[in-house]
Structure 1
């Protein structure tokens, strides 16, 4: 029998050492822990349960969309086989208590009463599509997880600024993304489409201004799960759904080779695939969740809003569209001539 040469054995050992560990999804074992004592575990459980509900959509470590079965605009049911995608998003707005802030926006009032199973609500469906809901999702998750010291907002920069300015009174610490070692319950955030770059630029912006800033934050649900050198994040309104993002870590648990957006970006086209990476963003801040012992002394968590009990007038149609599920109006008696 021919024995393998020494160079082949050395080569195999080399690739075994440098090859990235295989990712292992933490959500199947995490999503049931919504009643955990530790706030970080509750945050991860709620976020994971939602990502599972959205058919486990995710972006891989190379920044490629690997799975996306349903989007916010669809009437298709999520994995529970009873909740249309757009109604779930309307629920994030309603239950987080952030919907009243949108009073006056087309469709907002309809979303306030668009409970599961009600008929119609096309204006609410349009509202869901037309208004960014990623910060609403984060707020909903942290409220459902009963996290002290966090105030909900429909804008990410609000709670990023709160973490910077409030210090000991906030659930999160404002930290540099460089050298970040993300852990369960933390958030990683980036700036979108603004002339603000990196941690220093964001720090200056939140310190010197109260103006809005387009940002996006995602929740860390696990890091190095099974020693796989991967951070698992879950965010809302990511490619129009609730999506997991995988980011590589080094052996010390730090973000590794994180692709960063600059002032001049290459164009993603079929003949320039190297520029196509959903993970290339202006990552600017690591919001570090404080230990449970410190969270206890903060302002009590705000509960989710109870479902509305508003009565919606029953709708019917005269000239009905087949498959609309709207019942036909009863025929009116015609007076005799």
Structure 2
């Protein structure tokens, strides 16, 4: 089932094309595409009539939405500091150049161990970049665009089935799961790499038939989320503690020790 079809999803009521339109709306990026033919009609959903639906479906079919899917997921998850974009290069550039404010840290995909919420990214360009080439491109200060794709890590099981599970939008015109092997340390094992040789899928070139064979360039690791209001991290590797604790107390929490105030400390007036 692909992006602009009218076939209904498993809920029995939602046409596939409406779900993709929801990705655009839920990412907050649809309004930026108002000058593209058909984009304004996607704001009507299924209530705009046949002509509006047909125009919206044409926009969904003609316009890449893989980065929009990532933006939709991260917005729905409430990742703090995430800036949605219709271009994957913006996520990658932000993590590399602004490590203090980006919700991600920039890593080599062959070295760091992925975890849920991370983004594994490859370059679509004709020139093979590789991890070092990608760093050189970002370090150059260029503001140029770059055709890329990022999948979202949904599960990493190095101690279980040894597999890494990712989902990506606009992969084969749908939301598609990708599965890669992990080694015992949790790092990705033997990423299939695109090379400069012809990649046509033929009986004589089996490697060209592997859809995971890409120019993998970066792993963006999601930073640990800040503790919810009323919860403070304890020193070292101890579990979190809380000052305004929920009841019953979760097993992984403990009440924070009372803070000792100096004897001469005075209350701070409100508003200061």
TM-score bucket (shorter structure): 0.7 to 0.9
The aligned residue for residue 79 of structure 1 is: 10
2:113 alignment partner, one of 181, 201, 213: 181
For the pair 1:203 / 2:135, whether they are aligned, the reply is: yes
**1:152-177 CA distance string (max 9 Å, x none):** 00000011101111111110001111
Match runs of 1:1-337 below 5 Å: 70-113=1-44, 115-120=45-50, 121-208=53-140, 209-224=142-157, 227-293=160-226
Normalized against structure 2, the TM-score is what? Answer: 0.79
Question: Quick one: higher RCO (CA 8 Å, sep 6+), 1 or 2?
Answer: 1
C-alpha separation in 1, matches of 2:203 and 2:6: 31
For structure 2, the residue ranges without an aligned partner over 5 or more in a row are 230-272
Q: Which runs of 4+ in 1 moved over 4 A?
A: none
Residue 270 of structure 1, CA deviation: 3.9
CA RMSD of aligned residues (A): 1.8
- CA-to-aligned-CA distance 1:36-62 (integer Å, 9 cap, x gap): xxxxxxxxxxxxxxxxxxxxxxxxxxx
Preserved contact between residue 120 and residue 220 of structure 2 (Cα < 8 Å):
yes
Normalized per residue, the structure richer in helix is 1
Secondary structure of 1:190 counterpart: strand
User: Residues 77-101 of structure 1, C-alpha deviation per residue, up to 9 Å, x if partnerless?
Assistant: 1111111111111111122111122
How many residue pairs were aligned?
226
Deviations 1:179-202 (CA, angstroms, capped at 9, x unpaired) = 221111111000003325111111
Distance in 1, Cα, partners of 2:81 & 2:162: 30
- For 1:63-87, what per-residue CA distance to the aligned partner results, in whole angstroms no more than 9, with x for missing partners? xxxxxxx111210011111111111
Question: Quick check: 1:171–1:295 contact (8 Å CA) kept in 2?
Answer: no
Give me the TM-score of the superposition, normalised by structure 1. Answer: 0.64
